[in-house]
Amino acid sequence: MKIATSDEIRAIAGVDTRKCMKCGKCSASCPAYNEMDIRPHQFVSYVQNGDVEALMNSKSIWKCLSCFACVERCPRDVKPAKLIEAVRLSVIRQRGENYLSPDEIPALLDDETPQQLLMSAFRKYRK
């Protein structure tokens, strides 16, 4: 498995890990906390410290419910769930068949699909 860099994870998530003041409110809010081997607050420091490999191999990325309680409550606007999602995506992308090419987009367009969905899908799955 190709290991993503911290910069890639931060870019995908749109998160500045330096903003974290280590209050632990994310882990305090997390309903899946006990299922996780690496906890939400640790995701922030792992990315900040460059240890993305441990995160990509953790089971936490499959346990996060994406409930976004940590994002909602974080007093520093760090968005831990987005980091977890970014790590999860960098694992998923390498499993193949998950790519979106520009040619496929016209076929996906219909009146019901929000354009933003396609935009973000394309951003996440383009390579």
Contact call for residue 127 and another protein (CB under 8 A): no
Contact call for residue 26 and another protein (CB under 8 A): yes
Alpha-carbon separation of residue 106 from 114, 118, 122 (angstroms): 13, 10, 12
Alpha-carbon separation of residue 5 from 39, 47, 72, 80, 98 (angstroms): 19, 8, 26, 17, 20
Contact call for residue 24 and another protein (CB under 8 A): yes
Contact call for residue 67 and another protein (CB under 8 A): no
Which of 3, 23, 54, 100 touches another protein (CB under 8 A)? 23
**Which residue's structure tokens are 């496929």?**
104
Q: Given the complex with another protein, which of 43 and 90 has the nearer CB atom?
A: 43
Alpha-carbon separation of residue 38 from 30, 53, 89 (angstroms): 12, 12, 17
Which of 6, 27, 48, 57 touches another protein (CB under 8 A)? 27
Contact (CB, 8 A) for 48 and 21: no
Which region, judged by CB under 8 A, interacts with another protein, from 14-22, 51-59, 80-88, 109-117? 14-22
- Which residues of this chain interact with another protein, rule CB under 8 A? 19, 21-30, 33-34, 39, 41-42, 69, 73-77
